[in-house]
Structures are given as structure tokens and as C-alpha cells.
Structure 1
């Protein structure tokens, strides 16, 4: 345990304990530089010297830092303090999803879909980066006070191109949410995560997990052998289409599950549509691989009689019977025709078998060609027996221009020898203009954007003007210059025209303490017009509904206007803190190139070690700091962004940044 008040890494002051786990303890801390609360995960003292645990801890930090998504907990920093390994993460002030379900079950089905959409969007991004979580469960999903979802704990996540994915006899994750193939120690794929998502969706709808037992083994056996209990038998109000999403996601055979998290999200988003009301129950194509003997109707096997002694004596000799058979065949006038047909059939079967064995494709493993030149990758793939197909150019901040980002299919998979493989090559890191995809087909536009390096998130909504699966709008306007590898574009996609329900009246739900987004979703779902007014409130949290008119329980016609008051939070005095954000580029300059003459004379006292990176010194002037004192002094080995708060109650401030003894930024900061 770490004492309260301890300053970790000379930056993070420990405030309180948030939780204790088998691998690490989590603390609430304050970042004294950026003046914000953070969560700090510290590897337990008794595990500091275990290589396997350290590797898992580092893997979590790496996986989390690579996944930038609003529904994934952000990783800010990783380091060590007197031998203590720690990771600094975004602090989520709220319960985990398990606690939220326990306190609020049963949940409204629209709320279920809202929560699940956020989870699926985050998992889709992880899968796009070939990261499988492997331990998805409500306890690893956090919810802030506004209802926003954050997935955490990538401690046992593994990239698809890592060999450890194929290890067997290694059961990871939580058994209540574990796929059948995981319980058997088999290959863990993206479909394994989708199975866990199906169990989470089941729990969101029903408030309970589908399988329980006295031991983990008994629960695992149920996942592998027993069908998912029917949701509709417990609650007839749940549409069959929604239950079908659960059934498909939790199919025993991974081939029957959704191919992607995006496909599951698209199916889930339309599960409450009236046109899917009569949907039949989902039936998997591959079953459970538990084949049983089928007895045809009316068939009865003959009873076997025991031979008597007289029968044995009168039974003809086998050789004699065989001889009589062929004498009878040859004596028939058609025997030679039967012989020709039989001979021809045997020759045909032999030719077919031989040709089939010769034509059977040979499987080869796809080698890893990441971060090598395109030509080197082509030689390596051709040496493995593969052809080079389409070459896709993609922006990358991590891979040098002309070097390979990856392949499709990814390294580690197998494919037929001689088949063509797609090569993804870096076109370097640069700003590009966002293309205009409004009106285009979503699937074509998404592929186009992803090939440029963008992360694409899909949101569906009804439209009377835009055809189904075409794009209504994009979150970043066309023509804006951005870095694709650091940008997520949300595409609003048409679900087609909404079928008008037969019911023309709505009984208003109590929207008090709902978030504005939830109130808007409710109004859109029920065909209501929402008028929004904002006012300060000391009692209701900022962004939540204070009151509504007409009041809850009132019956109104569809199309009616509902007026809500949304809290702006308590009225505060004018903020005098200004935050200045800027980026210092890494140039990798030799800090001692100007001191070569000094080295000849033996004077090396003022030299700096260039292996540490670029030396950056930041000076600020505000109400609390003087420009003559160094505010931050550090070395960088990559481009680094800074956000510096200035307290300017009494006038203007100033910012000065020095890199490798040269001033690169010097400007005034005003209110």
C-alpha cells in the first residue's frame, strides 16, 4: 500500500485508494502539473520481480496507449518510482457496469442499446488495431456520472499477430463471460470477444448472467454445452429481434457469431424497429457439433437369431459359396457388360482421387513483414510462397514512409500457397484533407477512409431523404486538414424511412436527472419535439434535466413539443485561468556539435548527453510564476504536446520554450 500524500514520480500526489486487485492496486491521485485527478495503477510490491506479471502490466499499458477512443480509458503516462512500476490513466468518477446493473435493473431497452452501442464502438476500434481484450465483463466497464461508458483493464489483451494467442491449455478471463473456445484453451479470436459482448447484453436486458454454478468448471461446461436461456420466456416484452442479437453473438461455434463488432452494432440498433417485430428465432448454421444417431420412422432392426447345431452342419463352405456366385455371374449373358462398367468406375475413382490429392492447395503461414521496406517485404512474402496483390498506401505516424504497416490477412494466419496478399505501406505522416463522403455508400466510404488511416465510427438514424446505408453527415467537414492516424471520423448513416407506428399518443416518461443526450434520444424515438432551456442550478448536476413540461405521466400526441430545463451547474465567478496548449517537435539534434573545439582542449564540463533526447525547458510568467525560474525541465524523444495553465487575475502572462539551448517559442498570454 502507498501512503496518502506520497508524490509518485515527482508529479502524482496520492489522494485515496480506489481498489485492490490480484496484480495491481489502483489509487486516486492529483496531477500537480496539469491540476487534474487521475487514476494510478501500481504493480503490487510482492509481484515487482515476477517477469510474467511485469509483461502483462506493460502489455496493458501498451494496448491502452495505442487505442484512442472516447469509450476507452485513456493512458496518460507510464513510469517507475524507486522500483515501483506504475501507469497513469484517466479517472472515471462513477460505478462499474456491474454495480450500475445491480442498482438499476431492469433497464429500459433503449438505455440497454445506448450503453451497448458505446461498448461495441470501443471494441470495434480495438479489433481494428488487432487487439483482443479477452476479459470483457461489466466489472471492467466503467460509467461516469453522465452515463458515458469507458472500457478498462487491457491487462490480458493480446495483439492478433502475437504468437501467444495460439497457446492452448491457457484459460484467461472471467468464466461467467468466457466463450466456449476459451474454456477449452483453444484459439482466442475476435469472435471470442463478441461472445463476451453477447453475455454482457444478456445481463443488461435481464439483470443476471445466463449461467451460474458452484464451481468455475461447472459454469464453463454450461457455456460449452447448454443453450443460452430464453430471454423472452422471462420477459415477453423483449422483441425477438433483440433476443436474436444475443443468440447470434453467443453461438457455440464462432463461425455462427457476428463477423465484426460493427455488424453486431448495426443489428442491435435496428432490433426495436417495428418492421422486425415478426422476426423468427435465430438458428445457428453449425450447431453444437454434438451429432446424435438418427432413427428413421418405421425402421426396425431385424433380430439376430442364434445359429443351431444343425445349421452349422448344413452351412455351406464360404469358398464354395464364393465360387458358386462367380459361376452364376459368368453364366449370365450380361456378365461382360457388368465387368466393363465396374472396371471403368474403378479407374474413374482412382483418377479423381489422384487429381484431388494433387490439386489440394498447400497452406503456408504469413510471415511478419512489419516495418521493413516494400521491396524487402515482397521478397519475404514471395519466398514464403505468396503472391503480392493490391498495395494500399496509408498514413502512419509510427511507420517510416515506404515501409510496411502490415498485411491483409495479418501475419501469423495461414492461407493457400500462391494466393495474393494485400500489402499496406506507409505513405508517411502528413496532414491530409478530409474527403467529402456525404451521400456515399457507407461501406465504400468507410473502406476509403480506413485505407487513408482514419478510424471510422458509425451512427445510424432514420432519414426520409437519404437512402438506406448512405451517409447523412460526417463529424469532420470535408476539406479540413488533419492527421488521419490521429483522427476518428463519425459517419451518420441512414437507416431509411422510419415506419410510422400505429399508436399516435405517448405517455411522457419522467426525464428528471436524464442527460441531455438521453432526453434527445427519447424525444426522437417517440416522435416528439424537444425545446431546451438552460439555467443555473446548485442541486442538479451540469448537463442533466431539472424539469419538464408537460409533466411526466401526461399523454400527448406524437409531434407535440416537450420543454425541458437543463442544468448549467452552479453559477461561478469568472474563470481567470487560461490554458495554453502547444507542441514541441523532436528534432534529434546533437547537443555537443558546437563544442567539438572544447573537447580538443579537454573541457567537457558543459556537454549534455544527446542520447537522452532533445533538452526542453519551459518558462512561464503569471500570477504565481516568474519568467526567471524554470517551470519544467525535461528531455523528449518524440513530438510532445503540453497544456500549461496560467493564472491571470492581475494582468497578462508570458510563455517561453527553449529546445537544445535555442528559444523556439516566446509569446504573450492574455485573458
Structure 2
């Protein structure tokens, strides 16, 4: 039966964002699903932690912290973490989806790999681990299941930090081991401690498995395997696979030393040794693929010596395993059977001497004929820098790595330029300069707030940015002529040459108080920071109302500006409505009461006056959204259709 059909998460929308399409795999800590990010319309892999872990608050807190650390780790050989979150009982990670297979799938299908190809898998793995170690991040669960091989030949490492997150749970008390037993370092077994050298040990075990097709230790129980990690020495790969290069025996021995102090200090140190070993391997030590894993799609290597694989039923899940009392007594001996005794060989010294002379003669002749041969610069553009340097050295060049240069298209850490260019013929030992990409160059929008327009233009030009548009906006706090903000905002990373808009302060805009009663105009102008001055003159307009103002409405002015206002005659404060006749109001049947809308939202005030049967005229002196003045005032009796002016 298809387990995908019975999985309750398949078909669900996780956290309102990730539509779970199908289940990819299930491991010791989590289940991985293929999902669609409906916000960004991209395919992702979603790793959902098992319920037993998600119910532990300590794990969830540590898991979130580790996810943030991994998300900051940007490396071409690390599976990128996009997001983390919780949805009910589900704690999840959203990650880059890498279509392809795991290294475990390749080992299951092909068995062991040739020496050169095994190193070409390990080099990008070690590059990823080395980048993590440089930032203080330890993987803790290095194994073939956590190495992904994409369909286009890339190698990616996944699951950084998950084992560390489990260490904080209530399940991890004293006497508990966390990890995968087959790759667990002696110090993890003995004391539960792990550092960069523990990852180096696991990488050495994985290299052993790539070369031999099996893990070095087997046992009836996980603890018997753990015992052998602590007490036994990992056998040389050549003891199981005759003909395995001695260089790789040495590399495995250094990485899997039981004493952490004698191992390479971190994955970067092991990477350097692996690259050197790859360079020195003879050409016939394995196929030379066009990419890091170009031959992974093929089946088992024809004619390769058979090596008995590890039992297929043995799972490699990450375990939370009690550190019970280790079994006593010697563990099973994994070394190869002792070779039968051979007859003592007595060399014929005459023949030996003759062979030496012939070898020297052939060597000298070959050197003389090869002095004028040329080699071709390989195609290295857009390849990982470490792999490119190794390939160039193998081709016979002396490599010099130049200073990184920024580029919008080539990924950081990949080759951007080669001098001489690929395809050029050169003499062996020639210098080859390789320049890597530093990734896209970005500059932060400088802080120009508070500067004048001229000063802001100069500051932006110094950052290689261009002023596109200058806009003005009223402000009660920023002095007129100074920058209020920019678009894009200050501090945002942008490309060089990006156009930036300046939003300048227009200071205060002169309010429009025309037609407003004297007292209300005085209060409004004073509260806005202006100084009103009144001049009264006889006029036919309504008494004590503003009939002229200077500066005119809408002018840009500074705080404290004197505003000269001309009033119509006040007539001792008496008010005569347009509909009044000789001081007598019209009949009560023809009037209704004007609503009082002072300090209400201007839209609500407009709707209320219209609903009462009045016309509405809106004036906008300071644009605060609230009614600051009303004419005629609320409470007055007026005929329907009377025009009521409101200021806001």
C-alpha cells in the first residue's frame, strides 16, 4: 500500500503556506515532504520533526536557534534553509529542494566507488563541513543519507544542527548517545561530546565506505558497534579492496584516529589533504567524470572487484541510544584474513640492474620528447573554486588564485575568470590565474536624512547611487529644505547605480482659513505654530469672518510665520443668517437643527450633515482628518439645503 496515501499531512496546507504534495523519505528524527510554497510559487522540501520531539519545548527552542544558524550558512554545497515554524503539533523546516538521490542510494545501487570518484564526492562534502566549522557550527550526523546528489551533478549536505537541537530535549539525559552508530566518533560514544573533529571522524568512515562498499564495523547490536569505535582501529581500505591507493589508506587512517588530537583539526584541514591526494592519484585510479558526480547515473562499475556489502537491512537512522554498559571482551576482528605464507623470493641482481638501466633510459627519452608538448587550459568557468584548482593542477599548471571579483550572475565561490582562457595551449608548468566570484555587489543606501538636497546628492554619488526624483511633503517636525526619507529606505542593500528618490520637507503649508470665524481661525493657526494678526474692515460678508489672508493658502512657510488676516466687521458680535429677515427667524416649520460635528472624522461629519439635509463644503487648512471648525455652528436652526462649511 502506498504510505503517502495514508499520511495525514499529504494534501494539507502547512502553516497556511506550504501545500504538502507527497512524502519523500522518513528518518530517525523527521519525515521529509515535497511541498509547494504557495506564496513564492516554488517547490521546496519540508522536514517535519517527529511528534515525540515536537512535544518537547526545550527541543523546539533549540531547534529554532539551530535553524537560524544554518540559515545564515551560505555555501554552494549546503542545502539552504528558507524558513522554520510550527503549525499545531508540527515543527518544520522549509529547505531547498534538490532533485536527485542520496549518496546512500548510489552506494546501494553501485557498491563501492573508484578511488578518484570517491574523492570527487568527498571534496565538496568537506568544503561544506569546513564552511560550517569556520562559523562554529558542527553537523554531528555526517553519513551518506545526509549527502544529496542532484540530477545536474551538484553535491549538497543536509541536516546541519538537528542532532544538536535534540541534545536539548528531555530525552537526552546523562547516559544517552545521539547520532548514527556506524559513523559515531569514540568521544561521542564515551562521553557524548562532539566538535569539528567528530565530523572529521564521520567523514573518514564515509570515505572508507565509498572505497570499500561497507562500513568498517558490524555487530549484533548498536552497542557492540559502538564498542568497536572506541577500542578498535579502522582497517585500511586496501585490506578489503586490494589495489586501493596507499594515499587513501593514509587519509582514512588520519581522519579516523581514535584520539581526536591526532586527527585533522577540522573539515577544512581534511579537505586540503583530500585535494592533495586527488592531485597525486594516478590517472588509472578511477574514471574522470566531467563534473563532480557525472557518473552517478550509471550502474555498477563493470569489472570492479566484488566486495561484500554491509547487511542491506541495517538501518542508518539517527538514533537516541542509551549509553548502556559497553560489552566486555574483544570485539569481532574486521581486518582481512591473513595472506598465506609465500616462498621466499631471491632476486637476480643482474636482471634487477638491467631493469633499472632500462627504466632510466626510457624516462630520459620520454622527458626529451615531452619537453615541447603542450597542455590545454581546461574548462573551469563557473566550477567550484576548490575543484577547479585541483583540476588545473592535475592538468599540469601552477595555479595562482587571484582576488575575488563581484559578479551578478556567477555564484559566490565559483570560478569567474581564468587567465589564460580555457582552451588555450600552454607549456606544462605554466602559471594559471583563477579568479573566483565574490557574488553580487551591493551597497547600502547612506543616511541622508536631515541633509539639504545638494548634500544628499553628493552623499549618494559617493556611494555610486543616482538621485531619480525629488518630492516635497509637509512636515511639522523636519525643517523646510531637509531630507525626510529616501526610497529605497536608508540602509537597504541595492545595486550600484540604483536610482533613489528624495522626499524633502516642505515645512508647514499655510492653512486655508478663508470664511472661518475669527476665534476659530486664531485657535487653529496658533495650535499649528503660526502667529495670527487681524485687521478689521467694513464688509458685506458675515461678521467676524476671514475675508483675506497673507501668506496665501498652500504656501510653504516656516513655523512661527506671522499670518495677516483681514476680518469683516464684527457688528458687536451679532450674527445675521442669510435667511433672517429684520431679525425675525423664518417659521419653525421650515427649519431644522444643524448637527454639531466638531472634532469628528471629516468623512463621518460630511455624511452626518448630508443625512440631516444640509449641503457640505470641506476646507482643508492642515489636513488632520478631524473637523477643526464648523460654520454655521452646530445647534443652529437652519432651512434644509443650507450650506455648512467644515475645516479639517
TM-score (norm 2): 0.45
Larger radius of gyration: 2
TM-score normalised to structure 1 length:
0.43
Q: Which has the higher contact order (CA 8 A, sep 6+)?
A: 2
